Amino acid sequence: MIMNAQHDVFNGDLIDKFIEEEIQQGFPGAALIITQHGKILKQTVYGYKLKYNENGTVIQQPQLLTLDTMFDLASLTKMYATNYALMLLVHQGKLNINDSITKYIPEYIGC
């Protein structure tokens, strides 16, 4: 259990265990921050910022992640911004994700 509802006590051991197991199985790294009511409960990095070369081979001296590591998100911003905008419209009752796209864009004929 990560949060104990009765005592509202945070325990990050399960998260650590899960992510560390993924790192051992080849996942390169992760940065994590958990907040509640504006307070940081956990801020941790796991694994490496550089573990594999361009051929997918593990390098001899992998570089560990730090709290200051910058991530190149490239074109992911488009996906996050679009998803956020769509979910805001759903929350406002202006969009139903179960409706056909042609309800909102009648000229759409598919790919």
Model confidence pLDDT, tens digit, residues 59-105: 999 999 999 998 877 788 888 899 999 999 999 999 999 999 999 99
> 3-state DSSP: the chain helix, strand, coil percent, rounded to 5?
30, 30, 40
Domain edges within the chain: 1-69, 72-111
- Largest Cα separation within the chain, whole Å, is 55
Supply 58's token pair: 């593990």
Burial of 29 (0-12, 13-18, 19+ CB in 10 A): buried
The whole-angstrom separation of Cα 53 and Cα 62 is 10
Q: pTM above the 0.85 mark?
A: no
- The tens digit of pLDDT for each residue in 31-51 reads 999 998 999 999 999 999 998
